Amino acid sequence: MKDEILKVIKESVDSLEFPGIPTGTEFEVSVPKRKEFGDFSTNTALVIGSMTGENPREVAKRIVAAIEKRQSTFIEKLDIAGPGFINFFVNKTLFESELREILRLGGQYGASREGSGQKVLVEFVSANPTGYLHFGHARNAVVGDSVCRILSFCGYEVTREFYINDAGRQMDMLGESVYSALARLSGLAREIPEDGYHGEYISELAGEIRESEECPEVPGDEPEAVEFCREFAYSKLLEEIKTDLLDLRVDFDNWYSERTKIHGRGAAKGKIGETLARLEDIDAVEEKEEACWFKASLYGDGKDWVIIKKDGAPTYFLSDIAYHMDKYSRGFSWIINVWGADHHSHVSRLKSSMKALGLDESSLQVLLMQFVRLVRDGVEVPMSKRTGDFVTLREVLREVGCDATRFFLLMRSSDSHLDFDLSLAKKESSENPVYYVQYANARISSLLRNSAEAGVGASEEHLGLLSDDEERNIVKILLRFPDVVHSAAESLSPHKVVYYLQELAAGFHFYYNKTRILDSEDANTASARLYLARCVQVVIENGLGLLGINAPRSM
């Protein structure tokens, strides 16, 4: 629909042959908030005016004359307003055809092919398998997941990946910690290392090991027992992570193990070795202070970074370079990482490494998530992983449910700090915005059920009877949905969908309270109104689907 407006504008502008306007200059067509500004509005004259130096209102007059000359059937009236906006008032048959289009497309309304043929990799969560997921991980998980859903909807071929940091010191610490707990259970005086893991789950894991048949002898061959503890805890915790994520409706295509895919067997083998060799080939590394450094400062980062430590072990950064080289080699045209804001300094150094390796660092995009504060009754709930005193994702899910959890985590822009109000999320009342949107959907379902009983059905036959301002307003909100999806995909911002749905629900609730739908003046009007309601439902369902939130048919 907007495309048709845009087409008319472009043809008219072309016919006027403005000097100095390159072909392909983009003009904006938007749906104005105020109805006196028409159904559609364009800034075309302002854009041209600023390029040619002409008065925008004069330009607008010429464009309007050109458009009128074309005698489009669907344009009822044109206005020039403000500094030079051209406002379109369209024939309502255009709205009717839009409604028919929505039901025809159904679950595909709002979807597009704009990402067609493009492979996207979205890596998110990637929590260390050294403990349960805490609530801080939840935002990353939900936003990453929703971004994937949105991109898929836009035609991208999306791969969801969880990078398992199962190599490195933290895994050894996990083994040490569990082993220490096991030793204590066996009556030995043994403390969990200071920088180890101290949560209750460590003792629980030790307890499980003790119950198992393969439990190593303690005391006995300690390194072997530590390794057993490490592997036992790892596989168990990874399963728990998967379980929690599924409960949050987050699923992955790949569980990418750093240990097996990056490190390989033996020293300096696998992708780590390859990567180091590549970096050496291009002279991007140097030996300094008994360590090996990547010269990131040559490639746009502020400083150099160690990639092989004094003790000969690779740093996390080197594995990360290797991992991202691998991402590129798998043929993705868009690589998205969802990271916590505390990783922000890694962004430029990782990009600098890709640049050094001759890869296009602009196709790597990092979505940084600002922190979540958990609040209960106005008081912050402390979340510290160090002391083991953190709120797990599991606890929150159990307390407030998946829908509310996801909704609240998706409500804010990623680069805004987020206060998650536990008491509010739990409330099943009007203060809670989750239900607001779901309720609109449930109401429509109820209408459709009742109408079936009454023998009236949604029908497109009499859409011409829709004439109220509220009805027109709803249609205008509905036809913005594809734009919202596009914009959410482009800026990786699921919260735009959340805001949109709240607006749509508000439009419907208002309408519902004001207008009797089933008891309309006549059956034809009722069928048209039901059709409109059905369209609203389609869009709500599609929108909630992008957020991974259920759209219950009754509440």
The footprint of RNA on residues 355-414 (CB under 7 A) is 368, 370-371, 411-413
Q: How far is the CB of 501 from RNA (least distance, A)?
A: 11
Collapsing DSSP states into helix, strand and coil, what is residue 134?
A: strand
Given the complex with RNA, which of 7 and 309 has the nearer CB atom?
309
424 neighbors 394 (Cβ within 8 angstroms): no
Given the complex with RNA, which of 197 and 216 has the nearer CB atom?
197
List binders of RNA among 490-519 (CB under 7 A).
493, 495-496, 499, 502, 505-506, 509-510, 512-519
Q: Which stretch binds RNA (CB under 7 A): 146-154, 269-277, 299-307, 386-394?
A: 299-307
- Give the separation between CA 459 and CA 375, rounded to whole angstroms: 47
Q: Hey, what are 440's tokens?
A: 């609109």
Q: How far is the CB of 423 from RNA (least distance, A)?
A: 11
Q: How far is the CB of 393 from RNA (least distance, A)?
A: 18
List binders of RNA among 111-130 (CB under 7 A).
128
Q: Hey, what are 56's tokens?
A: 């925008």
List binders of RNA among 249-268 (CB under 7 A).
none
Question: DSSP letters along 327-380, please?
Answer: HHHTT-SEEEEEEEGGGHHHHHHHHHHHHHTT--GGGEEEEEEPPEEEEETTEE
Please report which helix (H) or strand (E) contains residue 149, including its range.
helix 135-153
Tell me which of 431, 461, 468, 469 binds RNA, using CB under 7 A: 431
Given the complex with RNA, which of 96 and 258 has the nearer CB atom?
258
Binding to RNA by residue 487, rule CB under 7 A? yes
From residue 276, alpha-carbon distances to 308, 320, 459 in Å are 9, 12, 66
Residue type, 515: T
Q: How far is the CB of 553 from RNA (least distance, A)?
A: 7
State the SS3 of 484-504. HHHHHHHCCCCHHHHHHHHHH
Q: How far is the CB of 291 from RNA (least distance, A)?
A: 3
Tell me which of 14, 450, 461, 469 binds RNA, using CB under 7 A: 450
Q: Which stretch binds RNA (CB under 7 A): 31-39, 144-152, 178-186, 391-399?
A: 31-39
Tell me which of 7, 70, 77, 417 binds RNA, using CB under 7 A: 417
Q: Which stretch binds RNA (CB under 7 A): 43-51, 140-148, 229-237, 392-400?
A: 43-51
Q: Which stretch binds RNA (CB under 7 A): 9-17, 259-267, 308-316, 356-364?
A: 308-316
Residue type, 523: A
Binding to RNA by residue 306, rule CB under 7 A? yes
Q: How far is the CB of 145 from RNA (least distance, A)?
A: 19
State the SS3 of 47-89. HHHHHHCCCHHHHHHHHHHHHHHHCCCCEEEEEEECCCEEEEE
On the question of a cis peptide bond just before residue 219, with omega within 30 degrees of 0, the verdict is yes
- Give the separation between CA 304 and CA 285, rounded to whole angstroms: 9
- Give the separation between CA 69 and CA 527, rounded to whole angstroms: 38
Please report which helix (H) or strand (E) contains residue 184, including its range.
helix 169-185
Binding to RNA by residue 341, rule CB under 7 A? yes
Q: How far is the CB of 188 from RNA (least distance, A)?
A: 27
Tell me which of 36, 211, 377, 521 binds RNA, using CB under 7 A: 36
Tell me which of 185, 291, 298, 465 binds RNA, using CB under 7 A: 291
Binding to RNA by residue 168, rule CB under 7 A? yes
Say which DSSP state 156 is in.
-
Given the complex with RNA, which of 7 and 344 has the nearer CB atom?
344
Binding to RNA by residue 345, rule CB under 7 A? yes
Binding to RNA by residue 191, rule CB under 7 A? no
User: Which residues have a Cβ under 8 Å from the Cβ of 432 and sit 6 or more positions away?
Assistant: 404, 424, 425
Binding to RNA by residue 27, rule CB under 7 A? no
Binding to RNA by residue 288, rule CB under 7 A? yes
Binding to RNA by residue 464, rule CB under 7 A? no
- Give the separation between CA 438 and CA 511, rounded to whole angstroms: 16
Binding to RNA by residue 204, rule CB under 7 A? no
Given the complex with RNA, which of 186 and 257 has the nearer CB atom?
257
Tell me which of 12, 41, 140, 537 binds RNA, using CB under 7 A: 41
Binding to RNA by residue 302, rule CB under 7 A? yes
Nearest CA among 284, 265, 455, 307 for reference residue 356? 284
List binders of RNA among 53-82 (CB under 7 A).
56, 81-82
Q: How far is the CB of 100 from RNA (least distance, A)?
A: 22
From residue 491, alpha-carbon distances to 56, 343, 407, 464, 494 in Å are 30, 20, 19, 37, 9
Tell me which of 101, 157, 274, 419 binds RNA, using CB under 7 A: 419
- Give the separation between CA 268 and CA 258, rounded to whole angstroms: 14
Paired strand residues for 163: 256
Tell me which of 351, 443, 480, 534 binds RNA, using CB under 7 A: 443
Say which DSSP state 256 is in.
E
Tell me which of 303, 360, 398, 469 binds RNA, using CB under 7 A: 303
- Give the separation between CA 247 and CA 393, rounded to whole angstroms: 10
- Give the separation between CA 437 and CA 187, rounded to whole angstroms: 56
Tell me which of 217, 289, 521, 522 binds RNA, using CB under 7 A: 289
Given the complex with RNA, which of 246 and 313 has the nearer CB atom?
313
Mask: binding to RNA, 211-240, rule CB under 7 A, as x and -? Answer: ------------------------------
